[in-house]
Amino acid sequence: MRTIDLIRKIYIDESVADSPLARNVRLRALPGVEIETTSQSAEILNHFRKNGNIEDKHTLLLYPFPGKFMSFCPGSDGMVCCNYFVINFGYGCLYDCHYCFLQNYLNNPLLTMFANTNDLFAEIDKKIHGKKFHFRIGTGETTDSLALEPLTGMAEILVNHFAELPNATLELKTKSSNVDSLLGLDHRGHTVISWSVNPPGIVSEVETGTATLEERLAAARKAEAAGYRLAFHLDPVIHFEGWEKQYHDLIDLIFSTVRADSVAWLSLGSFRYLPGLKTVIQGRFPEDTLTREEMVQGPDGKYRYFKTIREEMYRSIRAKVQSVDPKLFLYLCMETKRMWEDVFQFVPESAKNLDAGFEERRNYMDSLHPPAAAPVL
């Protein structure tokens, strides 16, 4: 697994030089790493956008994000959305998964983290304060949630804040094993740590630089022992010869490592990509076979396996999961209502239908392992 020893230069914008994130970085940076306080963040960003080599992920910039941190899940046109909110606390990823949309969306080697956490928390608190609705708020869309955790401590800061929020659940999505700094925190059951997982052969072939499946599951076991709720995302599910046995073996391995009643949810989503990403994948990874299978373009413009293939994979994996725990909440990511009907014999007519499923699972887990109380805002 790639680690923070890849980072050789760190820029800290002078306006956030005294932020918790900046203090963490100064304390935790490895010997020999150059740290520079700067007033030229915009110029640094522009330089890397124009001149950076996407392979050179050696520089980190801490700066204040000027926009909104929190947004609704960017569901695709014509697809069912899981009514989820996302917060982006950085751009760029230490890892190099062949299928990752960031290599086309950002095409920039600069790793960035947003250090104005006071603004982030003010925005979150304003959004959820006094609401009866329970918010699911996730990270990991534009950067891996824990890849840089040993250096920045960002997840630790988030977990501590969400522990004080009675009507929100934080999800930290990752392909890393960097959970050690989170294990002693008083999270009060308000954080779900989730892993994107695939069979070991897929991990080694196309998820470059990430933790092995064994390392991810060992980290999940640690998090479970520390009282965290877990989640797993089989996304992207990839079609290849022997896929069914390997994905069934993956399910067996997950639930022989952690208890089913520690898992808040599990999602399935097939490999998909926008047209521009195919050229990037083939250029960066000439031996890659992901985009060589014939696919069909959906209403959202993304290419996917044919419906019959996706349906077969979803049905098979769902049946395997249900054989382990029929009560486990399972959902499809970026799929059509027709696919939901064919796989689940159920169509979420609105986001509230899915919210009810998440809420039922959360209440069930609360009944088994009641979380510590948080103060009422």
Q: Following DSSP, what letter does each residue of 90-151 receive, concatenated?
A: EE--SSEETT-THHHHT----EEEE--HHHHHHHHHHHHTT-SSPEEEEE-SSS-SSTTHHH
Q: Are 298 and 305 a contacting pair, CB within 8 Å? A: no
- 331 by DSSP, 3-state: which? strand
Q: Are 252 and 317 a contacting pair, CB within 8 Å? A: no
270-302 exposure pattern, b = at least 16 Cβ within 10 A, e = fewer: bbbbeeebbebbeeebeeeebbeeebeebeeeb
Note the pLDDT tens digit of each residue in 56-114: 899 999 999 999 999 988 667 778 878 889 999 999 999 999 999 999 888 789 999 99
Residue whose tokens read 């630089």: 209
Q: Are 87 and 72 a contacting pair, CB within 8 Å? A: no
pLDDT score for 18: 98
Q: What are phi and psi of 192, to 5 degrees?
A: -105, 125
pLDDT score for 132: 87
Pairing of strands 303-304, 272-273: antiparallel
DSSP category for residue 77 = T
pLDDT score for 350: 62
Q: What is the pTM of this model?
A: 0.95
pLDDT score for 310: 98
Residues of the chain with confidence (pLDDT) below 50: 374-377
For residue 151, give both structure tokens: 């250096």
Angstrom CA distances, 8 to 36, 264, 280, 355, stand at 11, 38, 26, 43
Residue whose tokens read 């989820």: 84
Pairing of strands 85-87, 90-91: unpaired
Q: According to CATH, what is the number of the domain 68-88+117-368? A: 3.80.30.30
Residue spans of the domains in the chain: they are 68-88+117-368
Note the pLDDT tens digit of each residue in 23-68: 999 999 999 999 999 999 999 999 999 887 877 899 999 999 999 9
